[in-house]
Amino acid sequence: MADRFRLTLAQLNATVGDLAGNAARAREAWDEGRSAGAQMVALPEMFITGYNTQDLVTKPAFHQAAIAEIERLAADCADGPALAIGGPALEGAGLFNAYYILKGGKVTARVLKHHLPNETVFDEKRIYEAGPVGGPYVVDGVRIGSPICEDSWYEDVTETLAETGAEILLVPNGSPYYREKLAVRQTLMVSRVIETGLPLVYLNLVGGQDDQVFDGGTFVLNPGGELMLQMPLMEEAVGHVDFTHTPEGWRAEKGALAHVPDGLEQDYHAMVLALRDYMRKTGFSKVLLGLSGGIDSAIVATVAADALGAGNVRCVMLPSEYTSQASLDDAKTLAENLGCRYDTVPIAEGRAAITNSLAPLFEGTEPGITEENIQSRLRGLLLMAMSNKFGEMLLTTGNKSEVAVGYATIYGDMAGGYNPIKDLYKTRVFDICRWRNANHRGWMKGPGGEVIPPNVIQKPPSAELRADQKDSDTLPDYPTLDGILDILVDQDGSVADCVAAGFRREDAKQVEHLLYISEYKRFQSAPGTRLSKRAFWLDRRYPIVNRWRDPS
């Protein structure tokens, strides 16, 4: 047996449903591994189909086509290293999440996922059958065990692999991002290498898919937990890890350790990557958004410029008589700083026409929130008209605080195709804006420097739908609101928990009430980048009709 084994790790960006395109990426990685003298080239979980497929993979024509694509890959990659790739598998009448080993023109081994995640964004128990816990497969004399993603979160699969002769653990993953996720993964994988005494490769998918972001961050550990290779977060990469056979077994040689950014940068990069991939994978190249002069639309415009380039972003100011001169100035300055197109479309004339049309029906009533929402809905109508005319996807700009309590107008400022900041609380929006003004990275397509005007960050937030309006007129101050929402939403806590944390019961009850009555709005809202474990949509699924309230 040779005393060296080179493994090529392809941390690549798959597209759900693009079977031929994903297979082509796999061939490119295999070619690169062959040129580098690798014995094996590995791709992540379900790479052939893209991930997360949801119910698409249950469609017989789709999973049969995916399996056929893997068989073609085996034939195409016959002369060279083994190729490992994730995809669906059929066993009897069951559908499985599988990992295929291709060598010499055929499928030489197939691993079936045993532990099926059924929480947060995953519903694998309703899609797949659970496979048996098996033993290792052999590549060029090396016995390799591949617990698929969730299988590595439990000790039983890796212990069985070690007991049945595995010498290296290769874990293929489709693990989506949330804050501090890399640290969670590494802590769990250190446990696996300590338990088994085997080196471990954690190979993860990268790229955006609907609301989810797969953040890469592939790494390699030696027994004892020493980090031997760290691939970058949020970026495609192909890396090689060399294993040497020692008297104690196979050990990974030291490789490059990519920089791991702080939490604000990871969140920002996730939003940029998610929007860039959502656009590319749905066939759009340009976006537009309503630029209000406020902080939320400012950060969305900046994310869009960094994701797509300023030339592909249209910013539209839609002023009313309540729009302040400061907002007009700030919006224009932001667009100029970013280099985006800036258009102004006043809404006064359209608003007057709508008001006149409704006047006979509204006679004898007092103006109020209905009239405020007409402004927002008119803006939505005009922005959607531009979206249709120019083929530009409309971005919405509601932060998680507003989305949570319904401080947004359905069919108005909620209209649009994607919302990059949907899972970003208002207080974190401020932090992200300050971070972006102070930092620029090579993966950003927008300009560096202080692109967001300081006044946008400093002024009191306002929807500017009536005279002298401020968000704090109807909501608790954002630090209070976000603190309560963190307990009620992210921690799934109670009103009593909010009170114990130092918040007023009246504020907690108000926020709870707004949270529940706004469910119908969120049900109809645009998808947006998932940044936490309790993002609205798949992580937190509540009924629209719900009369229960916390009695505490």
Q: Are strands 287-290 and 82-91 parallel, antiparallel or unpaired?
A: unpaired
Asked if 45 is an active-site residue, the reply is yes
CA distance 152 to 188: 8
SS in 3 state form for 450-496?
CCCCHHHHHCCCCCCCCCCCCHHHCCCCHHHHHHHHHHHHHCCCCHH
Query: Are 66 and 19 in contact, with CB atoms under 8 Å apart?
Result: yes
Residue 140 — φ and ψ, nearest 5°? 50, 45
- Strands 212-215 and 219-221, by their bridges, are unpaired
One DSSP character per residue, 85-107 reads: EEEEEEETTEEEEEEEEEETTEE
113 as an active site residue: the answer is yes
| CB 397, CB 433: distance < 8 Å | no
Where does residue 501 rank: exposed (0-12), middle (13-18), buried (19+ CB within 10 A)?
A: middle
From the list 69, 124, 149, 372, the catalytic residue is 149
CA neighbor of 76 nearest in space, from 129, 11, 24, 139: 24
Please report which residue ranges of 168-233 form alpha helices under DSSP H.
181-196
Active-site residue identified among 103, 113, 281, 400: 113
Report the C-alpha gap between 391 and 385 in whole angstroms: 10
Active site residue 498: no
Instruction: Give catalytic residue positions.
Output: 45, 113, 149
